[in-house]
Amino acid sequence: MIQPSQETNRNQAGPFDFHLDARDGRARAGTFYTPHGALETPVFAPVGTAATVKAVSPDQLEALGATLVLANTYHLYLRPGEDVVAGLGGLHRFMAWDRPLLTDSGGFQVFSLSDSNRIDDDGVTFKSHVDGSTHRFTPEKSIAIQEALGADIIMAFDECPEPYDRTGVERAVERTQAWLERCLAAKRRADQALFGIVQGGIHPDLRERSARAVMALDLPGYAVGGLAVGESKPEMHQALDWMDDLLPADRPRYLMGVGTPADLVNGVLRGIDVFDCVLPTRMARNHTAMLRSGGRLNLKNAPFIRDPLPIDPDCGCPTCRTFTRAYLRHLINAREMLSATLLSIHNLHTLVNLAREMRRAVLAGKFEVFAREFLAAAEGTAE
C-alpha cells in the first residue's frame, strides 16, 4: 500500500490532479480532482444519456452516493442542441447536477445508431435516428459540442471497430490517434479534462501501438475503448492486463461501457478506476433487478406475486429497505412508472456501492481476498 507520506496534500490539489491513495496488487484506490469536486476511485458512473439518468432524479442519485454522471454528446447535440444547453448555463445547471460530469464524444452512437454512416479520415457523416436528417461529426465538431455542454471530463472522438477484424482495427487505431491529435488542437477550455482513448481490439501489438501513441500526448486520463463489443470475457480480461502493463500509474483509467458486478471486480483487479454502463437502468425498465452476485430477478414473473422479501435481503438501498418483491411485481404488471424508478435505484445502488466496497478493500490491503471471494461466490451465476 502507498503510505500517507507519499500522498500529495489534498488541500493543494489542482483541477485534474490524480492521487493514488493505495494499491493492492494491481487494484488501485485514487482521487481525481475536478472543478466540481473530487472523485474517489474506483467509481461507477450512472449514464444520463439525454441529461437525465432514466427514471431517477439528481437528488435520488446523490442519496445513492453517485459522484459522477455520464451524458451523451450525440443525443444532446440532436436535442435540445448544445447551444440551448450552453445558453441555459451549461450541462451542470441544465440537469441540476453540481457534481462531476463526463460527456462521451458521440463516436460510438454515430457508428452504432446509423446504418448509413459514411466514415472517412476527416470524420463521419450520419443520419439522425430521431428524424433522418443528415449530420457530420469531426474531431473538431465533437470538441466544440462538448465544450458548449461544459462537462468536467470530455472524450476524444474515436472509431470503435469490430474487435476481430484486424485490418479494420489497425485502421481504427491510426484514425483514432489522428483524431485525438486534432481534438487536442481544437480544445480551448482549461476547465475540462480531455481523455484519450486506446483502441486495438484483442490484438496486443495494436493495443501497445495505440497506448504508446496516446500516452505521448500526456493527457490527464486515459480510456480503454473497443471492449465489451463482442469479444469473450477472457479476451477482454487479457486486453485489460495489457493495458495495466502499458498505461501510466499516475493517471486515471476508464473502461468504457462495462457494468456487471463481476465486470467491475475484474476491471479493478486489472487496474481500472472508472466505469460506466447503461445496463442497470436498462434492466430496470425491463422489469429486472440486478443482484450483487451477478444474478438477475425478472420481477414480472408470477412466482413473485406473493413474495414478501425485498429484492435482496442484504441490500441497504431505499427500495430494498422499504418494498417487497410482491409490490414491485404489482407495479410492473399495473404498468406504474414507479417500478422503473425503484428498480433503477436498486440496480444503481448495487454498482455504486460495490465500487465503494472495492475502494475500502484496496485501502485496507484486502482487495485480492475480496475479489477472490466475490468472484468465487458469483461463479456459475447467470448474468
- State whether residue 134 is helix, strand or coil: strand
357-367 as b/e: b if 16+ CB within 10 A = bbbebbbeeeb
How far apart (Å, rounded) are the C-alpha atoms in residues 127 and 110? 8
Rounded to whole angstroms, what are the CA distances from 48 to 73, 115, 137, 280?
A: 11, 24, 21, 12
Range list of H helices, the chain: 58-64, 73-78, 82-87, 91-95, 107-112, 139-149, 166-186, 204-215, 233-246, 261-269, 279-285, 318-322, 325-333, 338-363, 367-378
How many other CB atoms are there within 10 angstroms of residue 222's CB atom?
Answer: 23
The burial of 190, by beta-carbon neighbours within 10 Å (0-12 exposed, 13-18 middle, 19 or more buried), is given as exposed
Among the listed residues 21, 104, 158, 244, the single catalytic one is 104
* Inter-residue long-range contacts of 312-321, CB under 8 Å, 24+ positions, other chains counted: 312/346, 312/350, 315/346, 315/349, 315/350, 316/349, 316/353, 317/64, 317/345, 317/346, 317/349, 317/350, 317/353, 318/63, 318/345, 318/349, 319/343, 319/345, 319/346, 319/349, 320/346
Residues facing residue 364 across a β-bridge: none
CA–CA–CA angle 9, 10, 16 (5° rounding): 120
- Residue 312 a catalytic site member: no
Rounded to whole angstroms, what are the CA distances from 341 to 249, 267, 318, 328, 375?
A: 38, 28, 11, 10, 29
The angle, 0 to 180 degrees and rounded to 10, between the axes of the packed helices 325-333 and 338-363 is: 140
DSSP 76: H
Q: Contact 72/104 with Cβ under 8 angstroms?
A: yes
Among the listed residues 152, 263, 273, 276, the single catalytic one is 276
Place of cell 472522438: 157
- Residue 21 a catalytic site member: no
Q: Hey, which residues are catalytic here?
A: 104, 276
